[in-house]
Amino acid sequence: MPDDAMPDDAMPVTSVWLTCQQPARDQRRGRYVPQTSSHPGKMLPSLAAHAIASYTAPGELVFDPMCGSGTTLVEAVHAGRPAIGIDIEPRYTALAAANLTLAASQGAAAAATVLTGDATRLLDLVPASTLGRVALVLTSPPYGRGTHGLVRTTSGGVRKRHHLYGDREHGNLAYAGWPRL
């Protein structure tokens, strides 16, 4: 609705979040383990923090069914929200666990659980005690087999690394296409 068509006492609703104004490396520096850069498609911490602060209250459960390196979980526990995350790739759940250990050492007191498993089988993975308690599902699903990753400019052109999701054999949704996702 255009602003001039709104009642005088109504506030305009905006869907623009003024977050992520700092480079990703600066958002992660000191708050995430350095190996986090190896994940091919990381959510920006300030985006996760803003969504968590906007849609949950302290103590409410945050869930990420494709948690990767654990950005949603780390930002949740720093904000006083317990969190559960799942990822199909064991190397990424190990990375998420390392990031949560770092968060705890920095004073994040909320509890978080990281599970390795297939997000298409959630009810087989999450504790029954969490059913009906999730206040926010916040995830960044696979973008496809190849992602932005890390780039370096060389004399031979741009070289990418850490830009492919795990292998096809584990059922990674990055290989499944949009209909299955």
Return per-residue pLDDT of the chain as tens, 181 residues: 455 555 556 666 667 777 777 888 888 899 999 998 877 778 889 999 999 999 999 999 999 999 999 999 999 999 999 999 999 889 999 999 999 999 999 999 999 999 999 888 889 999 999 999 999 999 987 655 555 555 667 788 766 655 555 554 555 656 565 566 5
Tell me how far apart the alpha carbons of residues 68 and 36 are, in angstroms, rounded to a whole number.
9
Token couple for 12: 């305009």
**What are the residue boundaries of the structural domains of the chain, listed by start?**
40-141
| 3-state helix/strand/coil string of the chain | CCHHHCCCCCCCCCCCCCCCCCCHHHHHCCCCCHHHHHCCCCCCHHHHHHHHHHHCCCCCEEEECCCCCCHHHHHHHHCCCCEEEEECCHHHHHHHHHHHHHHHHCCCCCCEEEEECCHHHHHHHCCHHHCCCEEEECCCCCCCCECCCEEEEECCEEEEECCECCCHHHCCHHHCCCCCC
pTM of the complete model: 0.75
Give the pLDDT score at 61: 98
- Overall CATH class of domain 40-141: alpha beta
